[in-house]
Homo-oligomer: A and B are copies of this chain.
Amino acid sequence: MKQNLIFTNDVEGVLQRLIADGGHNMTVWVADVNTSRFVPNNAPVITLPNGDESKSLETVCRVWNEMERMGVTRHSLIINLGGGMVTDLGGFAAATFKRGVRFINVPTTLLGAVDAAVGGKTGFNYNGLKNEIGAFALASDVVISTRYFDTLPIEEMKSGFAEVIKHAMLSDHGEFLRLLNHNFNAPIVHDDLLERLRHSVQVKVDIVARDPNEQGERKALNLGHTVGHAFESLAMRRDTPVPHGYAVAWGLVTEAVLSHLLLKFPSEDVHSLGNFVRDNYRDFPFTCDDYDELLDLMRHDKKSRDGEITCTLLNTIGNYHVDQAITHGDMTAALDILRDHLGL
Contacts and interface: CB of A to CB of B under 8 A. Distances in A.
Interface of A: 25, 57, 61, 64-65, 68, 74-75, 95-100, 121, 123, 126-127, 129, 131-137, 213-214, 302-303, 305-306
B133 A96 contact: yes
Among A57, A65, A96, chain B packs the most CB atoms within 10 A around the CB of A96
Nearest to A134: B99
Across chains A and B, which 7 residue pairs bring their CB atoms closest together, nearest first? A99-B134, A96-B133, A135-B135, A96-B135, A68-B127, A75-B305, A99-B136
Nearest to A122: B99
A135 B136 CA distance: 10
A178 B14 CA distance: 56
Contact of A95 (B65, B74, B121, B135): B135
A297 to B, nearest CB: 16
What number of copies of this chain does the assembly contain?
2
A132 B302 contact: no
A96 B25 CA distance: 28
Given A64-B126, A68-B127, A305-B75, A134 B57 contact: no
B126 A99 contact: no
Among A61, A64, A133, A306, chain B packs the most CB atoms within 10 A around the CB of A133
Given A131-B99, A135-B100, A61 B57 contact: yes
A302 to B, nearest CB: 7
Given A95-B135, A96-B133, A98-B132, 7 more contacts: A57-B61, A64-B126, A64-B132, A68-B132, A74-B302, A99-B121, A99-B136
Nearest to A65: B127
Contacts of A98: 132-134, 302
Contacts of A99: 121, 123, 131, 133-136, 214
